[in-house]
Structure 1
Amino acid sequence: MTDHDLRHHGDVEATPGLLDLAVNVRGSAPPAWLRGRLERGLDKLGAYPDQSAAVRAVSRRHDRDPAQVLLTAGGAEAFVLLARALTPRRAVCVHPGFTEPEAALLAAGHEVERLVLPPPYVLSPQQVPDDADLVVVGNPTNPTGVVHEGLERLCRPGRVVVVDEAFADAVPGEPHSLADRADLPGLVVVRSLTKTWALAGLRVGYLLAPEDLVDRLRRAQPLWAVSTLALIALETCLARGPVSSAAKVAAGLAQERVRLQQALEQLGVEVAPGSQAPFLLCRVAGRPDVREALRDRGIAVRRGDTFPGLTAEHWRTAVRGPTESDQLLNALTDLLQQ
C-alpha cells in the first residue's frame, strides 16, 4: 500500500492572508442568527449536556427512531467510534475519498483494503469484494464531488456499510441520500453541520444506524462527548427553516459550480466530471506546480496527492461566490500563460 498522509486536511493549507479555497466550509463564521442562538446558550454551560432535544431534532429531520441516532463530536468522532467498536475481517475503503475513516481504522489496528476508482470515479456495487464485511464510501465523495447511485445494493446481513454524507445537504435535493433508510441492514450514515453552517470549530455531527449498532458505538463513546453548544446547534440547524435555507444555498452554489467548471475547462484545466458538491477536483497535466503557483498569487487550494488514487498534479477547489471564482480564474489565466 502506497504511503499517503491520511491526516492531511485542507485547513493546513488555508493560512491567514490567503483566499481560502482549500477548506470546504461555507463561510468563515456561522450566520448571525445562529451565533445569537449559541450566545444565548452560554447560560447553560454550568450544567452537563442534555442530548434529548438534539436527538429529537435529528430523528425528525430524517424520519428515524431516536434509538437509531448517535450524536458525535463531528463526523471524525463517528469514524473513530466505528473503528473502535467493529472487528471487520475485510475492511474496504473506497478512494479517492475522505481519508479519515481509513486513518481511524488503521489507528485501531485494523487492516484496510483500498478500492481505488479510476476516472470518472464512479462506484459500481459489483466492484466491492463480495466478502467485505465493512465498506466505507463518501456520497457525495470528497474530493471528486461524485454522487454514487445504488449504494443501497451494498447492504446485506453481516456487512456494515458506512456512507459519509458530510456534504449531502450541500447537494440540491440530496439525491441518493440514504439517511432515511432504516430498512437497510448494517447501514451507517454519517453527517455533520460543519460544512453548511461553518461550525468546524464546534465539532457537531451525528450518525444514523440500526439500534443495536448504535448501542455498541455508544458504549465506545466517552460520556458527554457532545457539548451543550453543539447540541444547541443541532437542534437549531435541523429545524425546518434552516433546512430550507440550506437547500436554497445549495442551489445557488450548484449554479456557480457549473459556471466555474466551464471556465476552468476553457483554460485547459481538467475537471473531474460529475461533481454535484460545492467543490471541484482539478488537474493540469504536466503542471504539478499549479497549487504552489496559486499560493504565490494569494490563493490556497487543497493538494490532491494525499488522496489515494490522485497525484501531485491534482488539486481541489471549493466553490464559493462569483468574486472568489473570478479571482481563481484570473490567477490561473496568468500562471498558465507562462
Structure 2
Amino acid sequence: MSRFPQSRLRRLRQSAPVRNLVRETSLEARQLVLPMFVREGLTEQAPIGSMPGVVQHSLDSLRAAAVEAAEAGVGGVMLFGVPEVRDAQGSGADDPDGILNVATAALVAEVGDALVVQTDLCLDEFTDHGHCGVLAPSTGSGTQPSVDNDATLDRYRSMALAQARAGSHLLGLSGMMDGQVAALREALDSEGFQDTLLLAYSAKYASAFYGPFREAVDSQLQGDRRTYQMDPGNRREGVREALFDVDEGADIVMVKPAMGFLDVLREVRDAVDVPVWAYQVSGEYAMVEAAAANGWINRDAAILESLMSIRRAGADAVLTYWAVEAARWLR
C-alpha cells in the first residue's frame, strides 16, 4: 500500500542546503591523486594531443605542477617516466639516474611534506617491446610474445628498491604479475624500507580505454596485454585478485579503469578491509573532453559527476587527470 502523501521523498531535495546536509557521498580534494608524465630530454612541457590539457613534463615544469597540486590540496601525485632510450629489459627503470627516479627525488624534495609522492612500478614505459615485463624466449614466428612472470618479478624487485631509494612514498604495482606484492614487500623490508607503501593494481583490465595513455608514454607496444591484464567480462576474478594482494601485504588495492568497472569496484570495496582506489583512465578523460569541446555536455558538471560516481561505488581515492582542477572547485 502506498504511503503517499505522508512519505514525500522530495522533501529532502527541496533546497541546496537540505541536499547538502543529507548527501550520502562526499567528494574532497584530499581524495584525488594526479597522474603526471615526465619525459627525459625535454626542456619545456609538451602537450599530449589525445588528452587536451595534459602534458609530458620536463623536470622543471614537473616541479612547478606538483607545487600547484599541493597548493590545491590534492592527496598525491603518481609519476610515470618516459625515457629516451629503451631496451628489452627496461634497464632505465632501475637506473638511479633514470628519468623516473631522478624525477621522484626532485618531487620528494619539492613537495614531499605536502602530499604523497607515488611512482608507477611497471616496465612498459621502459621496454622496447612495450610489455610490462621481461619476454620469454620466442615460441615461433608470428606468435604473441609471452611475458615471463618470475623473471619479471626480479626486475620489479630492483625497480622497487630504486624507487624507494629515490624517496617514493608509495609504489604503484601496475604490472599484473602473479606474486608481485609479496615479492616486493619482502625485497623492501629486507632493505629497511618497511614504511614504503604498496598500492596493488589488483583488478586491472585489458581495456580499450587506455588508448591516449599509450601516446602519453610513447608506448612501443605491438599487440595486447591480455595474457596478464584481466578480461573485461570477469567480475569475480577481480575480487579474487584483490583478496590475493591483500593477503600478500598490499596496503591499498586498485580497480582500473574506473567508470566501466564500478560494479567490480563495489564488490572489491565490500570484500577487503584496506583502502580501495580507482583510476579514471585516459580514455575516460578524453571522452568527456571531446564531448564538451563539441558542446554536447556540460564539462564541469560531467567531471564532478563522474568523480562522485566513482566515490559512490566505493573508492576511497581516485586517480584522475582532473585532480587539480576539481580540487580547486571543491575548495
TM-score bucket of the superposed structures, by smaller chain: under 0.3
Name the TM-score, length of structure 2 as normaliser: 0.26
Determine which structure has the larger helix proportion and give its number.
2
Q: Whose relative contact order is higher, 1 or 2, with alpha carbons under 8 Å and at least 6 apart?
A: 1
